């Protein structure tokens, strides 16, 4: 039984990537990160992983004639490192159906809202402006829509009247760092079953392997 190989896509600071690394080191995720790929050469996430000896690759969109060529380059790297589950950790590009079909049912994302509420960018600001009393985060499988894929786990947090985008974002982020590793481990244990729009979480198997 080998550790599942994760391919992580990042664009920014990589705080969820760090939470995943920490969970692996604490044996809460039985996986290893095969490669971290960024579309942004300035992404702090790339510096973050250097001390862990995790391979990193930067693939910039502007160096490719079109989106499919750009995505093909990412797919090639994920395949080169034998990635079995693709984890989006603040990857700021919409993936095409071409990419999604290449890893059907094997791409996870985390979104800082309780989907289907507040999809897309600036979810925390959307929640505040709407006057929501609850927001939170959602781990979901990626499909061809904007934050519309089957929901794996969610965690709610309160929205206070005095909240700013930053204070709400921080409260949500603390929960993201808890539930994203949990969702990844459920996948690794084979406990996530997609049935239409729903993700059924199967009970833990207690018998002999």
Among all residues, which ones are annotated catalytic? 111
For 167, the 3-state DSSP assignment is: helix
Cβ(49)–Cβ(20) below 8 Å? no
Secondary structure (3-state) at 131: coil
Beta bridge partners of 192: 201
Pull the structure tokens for residue 101: 């079909």
Strands, DSSP E only, in the chain?
4-10, 31-38, 56-58, 85-88, 107-111, 134-141, 151-158, 192-195, 198-201
| Nearest CA-CA partner of 184 in 158, 145, 152 | 152
Sheet containing strand 31-38, strands side by side: 56-58, 31-38, 4-10, 85-88, 107-111, 134-141, 151-158, 198-201, 192-195
Looking at residue 50, the DSSP 8-state letter turns out to be G
């Amino acid at each position: 039984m080998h550790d599942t190989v994760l391919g992580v896509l990042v664009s920014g600071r990589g705080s969820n990537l760090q939470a995943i690394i920490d969970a692996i080191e604490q044996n809460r995720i039985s996986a290893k990160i095969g490669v971290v790929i960024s579309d942004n050469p300035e992404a702090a996430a790339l510096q973050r992983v250097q001390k862990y000896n995790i391979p990193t690759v930067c693939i910039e969109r502007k160096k490719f004639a079109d989106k499919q060529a750009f995505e093909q380059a990412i797919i090639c790297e994920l395949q080169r490192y034998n990635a079995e589950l693709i984890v989006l950790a603040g990857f700021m590009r919409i993936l095409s159906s071409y990419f999604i079909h290449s890893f059907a049912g094997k791409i996870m994302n985390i979104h800082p809202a309780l989907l289907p509420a507040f999809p897309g960018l600036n979810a925390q600001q959307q929640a505040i402006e709407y006057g929501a009393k609850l927001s939170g985060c959602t781990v979901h499988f990626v499909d061809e829509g904007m934050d519309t894929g089957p929901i794996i786990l969610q965690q709610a947090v309160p929205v206070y009247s005095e909240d700013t985008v930053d204070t709400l974002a921080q409260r949500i982020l603390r929960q993201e760092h808890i539930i994203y590793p949990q969702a990844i481990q459920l996948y690794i244990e084979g406990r996530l079953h997609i049935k239409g729009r729903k993700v059924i979480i199967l009970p833990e198997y207690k018998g002999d392997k």
